[in-house]
Amino acid sequence: MSFIQNQIGLKGSGGSIYMNNAAAPITVSVTASYQELTSLSTSFSLATTSPDFAMTTDGRLKYTGIITKNFVVNATINISTASTGSSAMQIYKNGSATGIECYESVIPSLSIQKAPVSLATNDYISIFLKHHQLQQD
């Protein structure tokens, strides 16, 4: 997940957290309700070049700047599921749904690109995931 702030004459702000554990994939038990991707077996990492951002809780990218700014959110998850159905990812702000979401039924990758979000001091963004089973008639 990453943020890019549109700036004019102000110091740039941007944050990025990532997780890469291709050698030992992470198992997540996902239900039909959105669940936050935090405190997993592999921790997220905060990019070293993340001015005005911190990660005080695993998986939550917190804005620490003093000026409310508009950011562009990008998030990608690559998943593998043992069941049929569709997966969905949604961006949450301060624990509440933003309405920015992505559904996918075939390709095992969910991606949200260039989604606008306004952040004030100590606001945080996190990723939530859910999976819907296909039902047989």
CA distance linking residue 92 with residue 67, whole number of Å: 20
Q: Is residue 24 part of a domain?
A: no
For 58, the domain range is: 2-6+13-18+31-133
Q: Is residue 54 part of a domain?
A: yes
Q: Is residue 26 part of a domain?
A: no
Over residues 118-128, the pLDDT tens digits come to 999 999 999 88
Q: What is the mean pLDDT of residues 51-68?
A: 89
By residue count, the chain amounts to: 137
- Of the candidates 60, 24, 16, the one whose C-alpha atom is nearest the C-alpha of residue 42 is 24
Q: What is the mean pLDDT of residues 81-96?
A: 82
Query: What is the pairing mode between strands 45-46 and 35-36?
Result: unpaired
Q: Is residue 59 part of a domain?
A: yes
Q: What confidence score (pLDDT) does residue 13 get?
A: 78
Over residues 96-108, the pLDDT tens digits come to 999 887 777 666 7
Q: Is residue 111 part of a domain?
A: yes
- 3-class SS at 33? coil
- How many structural domains are present in the chain? 1
| CATH number of 36's domain | 2.60.120.40
Q: What confidence score (pLDDT) does residue 5 get?
A: 53
Q: Is residue 51 part of a domain?
A: yes
Q: How many angstroms separate the most distant Cα atoms in the chain?
A: 59
**Does residue 44 have a pLDDT over 50?**
yes
State the number of CA atoms in the 13 A half-sphere of 54 facing the CB.
Answer: 7
Q: Is residue 25 part of a domain?
A: no
In this structure, are residues 13 and 69 in contact, taking their beta carbons and an 8 Å threshold?
yes
